[in-house]
Amino acid sequence: MTIIRLSLLREQLKPINPEMSAITPFRGEGYRAGLVSFQPLAAPDDRFITHAASDVIAHVLEGQGRLRLNHSEVDLEPDMLCHIPAGVAHDFVAEGHAPMLLFYALIDLEAPKML
């Protein structure tokens, strides 16, 4: 069992690029989970990400933004939960002046079945 304060994880976020920072403190057979922070950009890029073999569950903890999908967008705010099926191209975009902080879990589709 692992218990971690979100405030400590936030301090440990590691930059991935100018827009994103992340930390993945939870890993196990068939899943990984952690925090990801998106910085607001002057102009969002057109890059999407696809997790071919993993479903994504994301919980918006702080900030405002949008979830961009192939042909639609959804406004996001704290207390919202998102499920993105494997293979769906998507992009999170922070809006306003503050970062958007998400708790996320990637759940591998090839994971062993739970009994």
Q: Structurally, how many domains does the chain consist of?
A: 1
d(Cα 20, Cα 109) in Å, to the nearest integer? Answer: 25
Does 78 fall in a domain?
yes
Please check whether residue 37 is in contact with residue 86, taking contact to mean a CB–CB distance below 8 angstroms: no
Does 33 fall in a domain?
yes
Q: What does the pLDDT read at residue 111?
A: 54
CB atoms within 10 A of CB 93: 18
Does 10 fall in a domain?
yes
Full-model pTM? 0.90
We report the CATH number of the domain holding residue 77 as 2.60.120.10
Range of the domain at 53: 6-108
Please check whether residue 91 is in contact with residue 102, taking contact to mean a CB–CB distance below 8 angstroms: no
d(Cα 48, Cα 87) in Å, to the nearest integer? Answer: 11
> Is residue 28's pLDDT more than 70?
yes
Which tokens sit at 59? 């919980």
